[in-house]
Amino acid sequence: MTETRTAIVTGSGRGIGAAVALRLAKDGHKVAVIDLREEDTTATIEAINAAGGQAIGIGADVSNSDDVAAAVARVTEELGAPTILVNNAGILRDNLLFKMSDGDWDAVMNVHLRGSFLMSRAVQAHQVEQKWGRIVNLSSTSALGNRGQANYAAAKAGLQGFTKTLAIELGRYNVTANAIAPGFIETDMTRATAERVGVPFEDFIAHAVSEIPVGRSGKPEDIAAAASFFASEEASFVSGQVLYVAGGPKG
């Protein structure tokens, strides 16, 4: 029987984060669904409630330290000390290097890297106190390099170094840190990329699938399954790892 913990999943109003939040709730955990606007967490909360789980929705910008402090305090008060953290919130500001603006660079660094740093620093205090914790960071196959994504690739590669360092620093407190590097997953994020390059989403998916060894696109539930493993009791000896969930090797 899984012990009930309190989990925080950032950017879980939709997409991969929503699937991760629902999966952790089905695993028996209480879940804080964090997204930029609280009203955007409603659908995820309803799905969790319908599955018999317990969740609260919080509006917070993970790159803002005041928002992060307030969100973690509210989770602690309403659901109990958070000991599972999934840093999933993310944005794209794709452009070729010569066209990439200062703002494109900073926005991506702020949400992915600063956001994961602020959330992890706030949550580790509870994990260290409880002598138990799980941190799961969302990297990407783009960490290996991807045209038009100098900012995103740098952030996602940075998250791998961040993850390994957290694993080293927090291991003695029974806290593990791992990263999931998804390949092509069907969400609003990949839909927006298809729109940006002017390709119908179905064609965009078909092209992606043609390069995926298992011959299908990824679904948010594929990532949720990996997050569920990393968050589990059984994964206590797995730390500092990057798991490519991409229908093929990629890493």
Q: Could you say whether residue 119 binds ligand NAP (CB under 6 A)? A: no
Q: Name the residue among 51, 50, 54 with its Cα closest to residue 33.
A: 54
Q: What are phi and psi of 12, to 5 degrees?
A: -105, 20
Catalytic hit among 105, 117, 152, 204: 152
Q: How far apart are CA 244 and CA 249, in angstroms?
A: 7
Residue 155 burial by Cβ neighbours in a 10 Å radius (0-12, 13-18, 19+) = buried
Active site residue 244: no
Question: What's the closest the beta carbon of residue 176 comes to ligand NAP, in angstroms?
Answer: 19
24 belongs to the binding site for ligand NAP (CB under 6 A): no
Q: Which is nearer to ligand NAP, 13 or 158 (CB)?
A: 13
Under the binding rule (CB under 6 A), the answer on residue 84 touching ligand NAP is no
Beta bridge mates, 84: 7, 134
Distance CA 219, CA 206 (A): 14
Say whether residue 148 binds ligand NAP (CB under 6 A).
no
- If binding is defined by CB under 6 A, does position 133 make contact with ligand NAP? no
169 binds ligand NAP (CB under 6 A): no
| CA-CA-CA-CA dihedral for 25, 175, 62, 148, to nearest 10 | -100
**Is position 86 an interface residue for ligand NAP (rule: CB under 6 A)?**
no
Task: State the residues that interact with ligand NAP by CB under 6 A.
Answer: 10-11, 13-17, 35-37, 40, 61-63, 88-91, 111, 115, 138, 140, 182, 184-185, 187-190
Positions marked active-site: 152
